[in-house]
Every structure is written in structure tokens, then in C-alpha cells.
Amino acid sequence: MMLPAQKVLTTSGKYTYYAPSNITLEKAKAIALQRLKTQLIADSFGTTVSVTNSSAISNINGDSKITLLSIGESEVKGEWLETIGEPKWGIEYKDDMQVVTVSVRGRIREIVSSAVAFESRILRNGTEDKFESDTFKDNDEFYITFQSPVDGFVAIYLYDMDGVYRLLPTKNQKDGSQVVESGEKYIFFEKKIYQQTASDGRIIESVRSEYVLTCDDEAELNRIYVVFSPNRFSHPVDDLMGGSDVPANLSFDDFQRWLSRCRRQDKDMVLKTTDISISK
């Protein structure tokens, strides 16, 4: 497969960060330097920015209620390869704020994706393709089918207003992503036993994966993230507390940082998002 060449550029710039007094100078310097690097990459290669707005309408005794979900996501289309020389700093204090100025020179590389065209469907109350749906009722069964033309690894996350939940791999699984084989059609969260495969090929545990979608309000909106790569990747650091029926979870900001970092480091990683509504 022929892939486009990745551009490598030498760039330099300057950034000023007005830091609150309650963070340390070292932390302020780290933030200023990271923001400058991100700005230089974005200026050279651009950003991928998306804002998705979804709505669900419910009717209670003749009164309509509209639930809105707005998700803004952004990532730069490149990576910082190396810093040339040492960053140059300027530190001032004004109006109880630390004013940190940094100049840096370095090499950056464009990220060029060679996306794998995998297929996935969200299913409601059935495991055949005819049950595909983005509209659910409280306590409906929830399945996802997945099929890829190449061997690889997949993970599935659900975002609601409380945070992001790792559905696959489950919190009982030790690997950071689920192994999938080329051409095989998987039905995730089906009522069956899934076997966990360790990195050396050993079957080390069996995990029952089964989910239903619930709704505390009259209508809710969630977003499903399906992440795939032909290269092995690890899941983010998340919270494993809660009962056996509560998936591992983390904040949306932490999830976005993990996802952006993974996609910068792995040009083959592919992401598919789908918004779903759940109502009483």
C-alpha cells in the first residue's frame, strides 16, 4: 500500500501564558511550552475540529422536552519531534499573576493517516443487522457489531454527561484493547462468554460482556466511540471502582487527551463516533 510522505519542518515561535498564582512556576512553564508547541504544529499543518450537536425530544403528558448534547473536539494534525537548543524564558509578575513567556525552536512532523475502512453497527434488542438503531428505550439491550479487513485491536467507549465509560475491553480484562481478526464479524456485548487473549496468545480469563442502556431522565443523549488500529494500544488510566455492573470510567477531558495522544502516535488509528438517544 502506497502512503503519502510525512512532511518534516523546522519551526520556531513565541508564546505568553498568564498563569494564576495558585499554580507553581514549573507547572506554568510546562503549560506555556506545551501550548506553544501545539500552536506551532497547528499553524503548520492545521487542526481537526468538530462540534457535534444532537437532540432528543420526549413528550410527557402533552408537554415536549428537548434534550441537547453538544460535543466539541479538536486535535492538531502533527507531532513535535525534537527541540533544537533550549527554550528561552521570560518571567514577570503582574496583578497577582505569573506572566510566563517562552520561545522555542524545533522540528515537527505532519500526521498522515492511512485509514482502515472497518464496519461497525449499533444494534437494539437483537444481534442481526436489521436491528441497527440510534434510538433506544430505557433497559433496551445494546450490541455492537464489528468487522475489519485487517487484523488489529479495538476498543469501545460511551460518553454521557457524567463522563466516559470503557465498554470494551471490560474492566475485568487485562489487555488495553480487544484483539480482532481480519474478516471475522464480531458481536460485542452478546449474551455469551468472551475469552481474553493475553499478548503472548494464552487464554487467561473468560469474561461475560452484556449491557443494557438506562435512562434516568425522560431523554438522554450518548455518544459511542469505536477505536481501531492494526497496532496494539492501551486504554487510558481510568476508575475501576464501583459495582461489577459499572464499567471503568474517566472524565471527558482525560479521555480526549488520551485519544489525541494515541492518534498522534499511531497514524493507522481510526475512530468512528455515533450519537444515540435513550428515552423512558
pTM comes to 0.62
Higher pLDDT, 48 or 132: 132
Higher pLDDT, 224 or 73: 224
Confidence label for 103 from pLDDT (cuts 50, 70 and 90): very high
The C-alpha cell 437532540 sits at 55
Amino acid at 171: K
Instruction: State the average pLDDT over residues 178-194.
Output: 83
**Total count of residues recorded for the chain:** 280
Q: Which residues of 81-101 are buried (b: 16+ CB within 10 A; e: fewer)?
A: eeeeeeeeeeeeeeeeebbbe
Q: What is the pLDDT of residue 3?
A: 46
Most confident of 47-51, 107-111, 183-187: 183-187
Instruction: State the average pLDDT over residues 93-102.
Output: 88
Q: Are 14 and 33 in contact (CB under 8 A)?
A: no
Q: Up-side HSE of residue 123: CA atoms within 13 Å toward CB?
A: 19
Helix (H), strand (E), coil (C) string for the chain? CCCCCCCEEEEEEEEEEEEECCCCHHHHHHHHHHHHHHHHHHHHHCEEEEEEEEEEEEEECCEEEEEEEEEEEEEECEEEEEECCCCEEEEEEECCEEEEEEEEEEEEEECCCCCCCCEEEEEECCCCHHHECCEEECCEEEEEEEECCCCEEEEEEEEECCEEEEEECCCCCCCCCEEECCCCCEEECCCCEEEEECCCCCEEEEEECCCEECCCCCEEEEEEEEEEECCCCCCCCCECCCCCCCCEEECHHHHHHHHHHHHHHCCCCEEEEEEEEEEC
Q: What is the pLDDT of residues 16-40, one digit of tens each?
A: 999 887 878 888 888 888 888 888 8
Average pLDDT, the chain: 80
Give the phi and the psi of residue 95 in degrees, each rounded to 5: 50, 50
Confidence label for 2 from pLDDT (cuts 50, 70 and 90): very low
Task: Report which of 50, 224, 200 is spatially closest to residue 122, judged by C-alpha positions.
Answer: 224
